[in-house]
Amino acid sequence: MHSVVLGTSGTTATDVLAVARGGARVELSEDAMAAVAASRRIIDDLAAKPEPVYGVSTGFGALAVRHISPELRVQLQRNIVRSHAAGMGPRVEREVVRALMFLRLKTLASGRTGVRPVVVRTMAAVLNAGITPVVHEYGSLGCSGDLAPLSHCALTLMGEGEAEGPDGALRPAADLLAEHGIEPVELREKEGLALLNGTDGMLGMLLMACEDLGRLFTAADVTAALSLEALLGTDRVLAPELHAIRPHPGQAASADNMLRVLAGSGLTGHHQDDAPRVQDAYSVRCAPQVAGAGRDTLTHARLVADRELAAAVDNPVVLPDGRVESNGNFHGAPVAYVLDFLAVAAADLASIAERRTDRLLDKNRSHGLPPFLAGDAGVDSGLMIAQYTQAALVSEMKRLAVPASVDSIPSSAMQEDHVSMGWSAARKLRTAVDNLTRVIAVELVAATRAIELREGLTPAPASRAVLAAVRRAGVEGPGADRYLAPDLAAADAFVRSGQLTEAAEQVTGPLA
């Protein structure tokens, strides 16, 4: 388990994933701690002055008009955390909470928030102890930050509420802190607000979705190539010179992946005597265009994520010249938009994969394959209902592709009258990514079975490598009907783990 060092200048997607999914330890650089201490001195100076400063000596949101006297400020900061820890619904995943906390820590370490060094050290200690606050599904509108989710994390720093220990058991946060020698923090001026005002939850989920979708786009190219081969399609449409005249980088990458998987195939384009085709159906012929558009959307999403990773999102912020200024940088619109864009791309990729599966199962369009790829059609139903399941997944993905970011419900007595709904966009994207994995798995089951039914024809070497690997993984080939759910589960695990792409790459070398 390696360590990730946080400085003042942000972090990387790799580091976020290492902490969120890999359990990496977090260290704080000397420069970061010096910057934190310097900005805190500015807040302390402002707190001693009679003039009200938002977040330091005033209330919050629509209550910012009230000046808070010094003896009530500790209570003020404690109260904002308690009152804002108002989430409801199921718990969100451990990896999401760890990403959320690490990204908030990234902003605290920037020296732009004005918290004391002890707050920064305590949050790092909680992460390193494997303590995961209980965060609920609902409570963020994606503006003024992911307020309720971050509040539940801040509550743990105070030794209140519940958290999950390293063993996975839920315990009172105070007990977990005590067991790990972590002293609860008594928050002072500005600190409660600084712990809540960030886009960290939606950003963390964006980074994980980008990582997962990057793998799935490659996997989808492999299954598209297998389907093309099983349908005796032509690989001439994948020629690089055709994609060069419409120079979308993602399209070229997907076409190249498919072409490399199909290299040396004895099935593509040579066995159409019974039903000659000038062109393959769109779901086959346009696979690189659709997957490629999704790849380019992913590239844009990663650009937005990188900008957010370099940002210090808080309100107010301590500027390098010592000014403390209010702002609207907590608004989640930049992140929310790309979360929605990715849900659209994932849904369309799933949709075209499902159309190829349906074509493989339809004897009128599969060019000689048995109905539903069944062993004895009529007695056997083959993969008929596997395609139903795939269609149900795609239908849900289409509903999940409806943008959350175009919605807005005013809150805080109309002070917060336009919100991003970025957290909601992130939550539905996680479901969409899971469903896309399953959709690709069903196409894999159908395409590999169809290729094996093309007796006397030799698949491409990469296809043979995938076939061998998927059979070793527990997905059975053609034959009589059997209990099918275990096969689909094994295919899902095969895709999810990256083994599908790895099997093809044994022959093709690294795919994009």
Tokens encoding 314: 């808080």
Going by their DSSP bridges, the two strands 132-133 and 136-138 should be labelled as unpaired
Q: Count other C-beta atoms under 10 Å from residue 246's C-beta.
A: 10
Q: Residue 400 pairs with which residues in a beta bridge?
A: none
Tokens encoding 200: 């960290």
Residue 92 makes CB contacts below 8 A (sequence gap 6+) with 135, 136, 137, 149, 427
Alpha helices in 274-332, H assignment, sequence order: 282-285, 287-309
Whether 54 is catalytic is yes
d(CA 360, CA 372): 7
Tokens encoding 356: 């190829």
Residue 330 Cα to chain centre, angstroms? 20
d(CA 342, CA 205): 12
Catalytic residue of the set 54, 337, 388, 483: 54
Q: Is the Cβ–Cβ distance between 170 and 131 less than 8 Å?
A: no
Positive or negative: CA dihedral 5, 11, 14, 19: positive
Q: Is the Cβ–Cβ distance between 327 and 316 less than 8 Å?
A: yes
Residue 471 Cα to chain centre, angstroms? 29
Query: What radius of gyration, in Å, describes the C-alpha atoms of the chain?
Result: 27
Tokens encoding 491: 């295919």
- DSSP assignment of 340-375 equals HHHHHHHHHHHHHHHHHHHHHH-TTTTTSPPGGG-S
Question: Pick from 215, 210, 209, 208: which is nearest to 512 by CA?
Answer: 215
**3-state DSSP assignment of residue 265:** coil
Q: How far is CA 377 from CA 3, 370, 381, 505, in A?
A: 57, 7, 6, 35
**3-state DSSP assignment of residue 89:** strand
Burial of 47: CB neighbours in 10 Å, binned 0-12, 13-18, 19+: middle
**3-state DSSP assignment of residue 324:** strand
Tokens encoding 187: 């928050």
d(CA 448, CA 276): 23
Asked if omega into 240 is within 30° of 0 (cis), the reply is no
Positive or negative: CA dihedral 291, 292, 296, 299: positive
Longest Cα pair distance anywhere in the chain, in angstroms?
90
Please give the positions annotated as active site. 54
